[in-house]
């Protein structure tokens, strides 16, 4: 006979589609009491409502839950004998499960919803940098996916899910906080500030209160949940004025060997007042000034990951003192010949799949060497994911060719370093002609007083000839 369990699904219920299974990994807990076809009733601790049920599937790899659509097994608390309903909210946390037994009452089992146990022994404070399209954001998502996510088996589902390294993950709520720096970004947008708040519909009652931003939200979450990693993700960190944005928080980036800030700082009165209300730190070993918000200090589970595009001309260069507080990870343009799906991307020199085409990897290998020769640098090279699918002629021109012209070739026009050139004969590339982006788009070339029309496809084919990129000829159907 199937047994009934209650499981708090607050962390996964709103993300998990019907029919998807979730693997349960235990932390030294005996799950022998859970058998195949046992029923786990989904309970949301936030709404305090039962909402769905899961079927347990047990095999050699452990226990999996499969979300079901109907509620034929749904039960109410009042129907369970000796169930201490008044304590339900207090004993059910997002990472716990309760087993219902009339004789034993409620037994709490600690379980993580992840194939990877949460690891708070590592602290990430890292900038991932590289040329455009090298997978910097992907690298960040993979790091997060390996530390905080729910891995799901979605082979039987048509529901799209985010993928990391070939696996599909669901990132639980309030573990990842994201922001993007830009030239107008400042400390108030990063940390928070006092803002006017309209208290009524008429707009007559206006009050001022501290409105937290992404750093403060992540800071509070990390201190209130010391056993789970929290990630602050900063995209395009070099596009903002880091000295202005971080302000005195800069001092907190100096971490000790345990991952905590080496030195604390004193927040302003507004932030201190807000933190005193939001921080719920129960660890008596934490200094009282931290617990009441009078001092700021990053805990070891507060991780910061940032991306930096090396092709961007930073408006505000980072100083060496700021740089040395980060670990730096370079993402190369091409690592080896074992590419992912990008190895099959095609550049169609027309507006449909029946056009002549080139292989994307062959193209970026050739053009990256030209970029390196022209700029004496790898910063402006193309990563293999600069495009993410097959491209036709107009998209290729507007995205790839425009980038090559504006960032590399325009400044080198009329010099030997300009590779915006065409060669009619691939075997005689010394006989080449320069062209501009405007000439490519307009399909017009001036030859003295004569105007010559050159099709975009023809010019691109001659461009590929100059780069010595193989063109795959498509034979028209009879």
Q: How far apart are alpha carbons 131 and 138 in whole angstroms?
A: 13
CA distances from 185 to 125, 198, 203, 238, 322 (A): 21, 24, 28, 11, 17
DSSP 168: E
Q: Kindly report the length of the chain.
A: 478
The C-alpha angle 70, 48, 144, rounded to 5 degrees, equals 85
Q: What is the pLDDT of residues 33-54, one digit of tens each?
A: 667 766 666 665 555 555 566 6
pLDDT at residue 17, rounded to an integer: 54
Phi, psi angle pair for 86, to nearest 5°: -70, -20
How many Å apart are CA 340 and CA 147, to the nearest integer?
23
196-226 residue pLDDT tens: 877 766 667 778 889 999 999 999 999 998 8
User: Is residue 172 predicted with pLDDT exceeding 90?
Assistant: no
Per-residue pLDDT tens over the stretch 260-274: 999 999 999 999 999
Average pLDDT, the chain: 75
Residue 338 has pLDDT above 60, yes or no: no
pLDDT band, very low/low/confident/very high, at 150 (cuts 50, 70, 90):
very low
Q: What is the mean pLDDT of residues 2-23?
A: 54
In contact, 394 and 355? CB cutoff 8 Å: no
d(CA 24, CA 113): 5
Would you state the pLDDT for residue 105? Answer: 35
Tokens 């993928």 locate to: 163
Whether 445 shows a pLDDT value over 70: the answer reads no
């Amino acid at each position: 006979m199937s047994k009934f369990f209650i499981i708090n699904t607050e962390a996964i219920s709103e993300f998990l589609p019907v029919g998807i299974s979730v693997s349960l990994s235990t932390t030294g807990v005996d799950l022998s009491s859970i058998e195949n076809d046992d029923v786990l009733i989904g309970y949301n601790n936030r709404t305090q409502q039962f909402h769905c049920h899961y079927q347990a599937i047990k095999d050699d790899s452990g226990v999996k839950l499969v979300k079901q659509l109907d509620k034929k097994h749904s039960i109410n608390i009042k129907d369970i004998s000796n169930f201490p309903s008044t304590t339900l909210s207090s004993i059910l946390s997002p990472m716990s499960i309760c087993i219902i037994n009339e004789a034993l009452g409620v037994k709490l089992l600690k379980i993580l919803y992840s194939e990877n146990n949460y690891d708070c022994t590592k602290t990430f404070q890292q900038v991932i940098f590289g040329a455009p399209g090298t997978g910097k954001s992907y690298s960040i998502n993979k790091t997060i996916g390996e530390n905080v996510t729910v891995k799901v088996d979605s082979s039987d589902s048509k529901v799209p899910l985010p993928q990391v390294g070939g696996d599909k993950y669901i990132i639980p709520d309030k573990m990842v906080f994201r922001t993007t720096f830009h030239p107008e970004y400042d400390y108030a947008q990063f940390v928070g500030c006092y803002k006017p708040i309209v208290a009524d519909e008429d707009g007559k009652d206006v009050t001022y209160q501290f409105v937290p931003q992404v750093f403060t939200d992540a800071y509070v979450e990390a201190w209130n949940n010391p056993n789970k990693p929290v990630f602050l993700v900063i995209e395009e960190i070099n596009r903002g004025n880091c000295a202005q944005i971080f302000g005195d928080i800069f001092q907190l980036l100096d971490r000790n060997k345990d991952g905590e800030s080496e030195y604390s700082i004193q927040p302003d009165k507004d932030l201190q007042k807000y933190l005193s209300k939001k921080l719920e730190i129960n660890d008596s070993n934490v200094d009282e000034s931290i617990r009441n918000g009078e001092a700021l200090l990053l805990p070891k589970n507060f991780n910061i990951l940032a991306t930096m595009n090396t092709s961007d001309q930073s408006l505000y260069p980072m100083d060496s003192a700021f740089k040395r507080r980060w670990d730096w990870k370079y993402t190369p343009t091409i690592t080896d010949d074992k590419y992912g799906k990008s190895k099959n991307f095609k550049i169609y020199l027309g507006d449909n799949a029946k056009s002549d085409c080139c292989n994307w990897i062959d193209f970026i290998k050739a053009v990256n060497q030209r970029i390196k020769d022209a700029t004496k640098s790898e910063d402006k090279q193309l990563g293999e994911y600069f495009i993410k699918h097959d491209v036709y002629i107009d998209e290729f021109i507007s995205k790839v060719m425009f980038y090559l012209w504006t960032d590399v070739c325009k400044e080198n026009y009329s010099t030997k370093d300009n590779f915006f050139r065409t060669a009619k004969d691939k075997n005689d590339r010394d006989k080449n002609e320069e062209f501009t982006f405007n000439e490519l788009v307009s399909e017009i070339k001036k030859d003295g007083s004569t105007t010559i029309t050159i099709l975009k496809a023809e010019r691109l084919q001659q461009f590929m000839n100059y780069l010595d990129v193989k063109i795959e000829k498509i034979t028209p159907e009879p």
